[in-house]
């Protein structure tokens, strides 16, 4: 059995971003703007705008194959009201959330 390090809510999380990983797609959830207790954080929702890159396709697959999907570009904006969320090892895995230094959006055009 793998020994999982217990996740801790610390002030170092403030300013980090949470992204939701759904198989090959990634969507921004929000920016951690505060801490409320030992297990809860306050999150400012973040949304990605439309993809600014022009996706190019070649014949293949069912309809076509997008060969430049790694060139996706998005602008991000903080929207809506902040919300509270409990964060622990199990809640991060259950929601498929990943914490990082920047918001991330990725859409798999070939799936």
Q: 82 in a domain, yes or no?
A: yes
Q: 94 in a domain, yes or no?
A: yes
The total number of structural domains in the chain stands at 1
Q: What is the spatial distance between Cα 17 and Cα 59, in angstroms, rounded to a whole number? A: 37
Q: 108 in a domain, yes or no?
A: no
Q: 49 in a domain, yes or no?
A: yes
Residue 59: give the domain boundaries.
11-100
Q: What is the spatial distance between Cα 9 and Cα 93, in angstroms, rounded to a whole number? A: 15
Q: 4 in a domain, yes or no?
A: no
Q: Which residue has the tokens 């929000």?
A: 30
Listed residue (15, 81, 7, 83) closest to 38, CA to CA: 7
pTM: 0.87
Q: 105 in a domain, yes or no?
A: no
Those residues with Cβ within 8 angstroms of residue 108's Cβ, 6 or more apart along the chain or in another chain: 23, 24, 25, 69
pLDDT at 8: 85
> How does pLDDT run across 79-111, given as a tens digit for each residue?
999 999 999 888 788 889 999 999 999 999 988
């Amino acid at each position: 059995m793998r020994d999982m390090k217990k996740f801790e809510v610390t002030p170092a999380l403030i300013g980090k971003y949470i992204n939701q990983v759904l198989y090959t797609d990634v969507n921004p959830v929000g920016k951690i703007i505060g801490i409320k207790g030992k297990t809860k954080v306050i999150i400012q929702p973040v949304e990605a705008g439309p993809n600014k890159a022009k996706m190019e396709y070649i014949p293949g697959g069912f309809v076509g194959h997008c060969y430049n999907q790694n060139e996706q570009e998005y602008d991000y904006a903080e929207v809506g009201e902040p919300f509270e969320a409990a964060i622990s090892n199990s809640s991060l895995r259950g929601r498929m959330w990943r914490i990082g230094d920047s918001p991330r959006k990725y859409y798999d055009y070939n799936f």
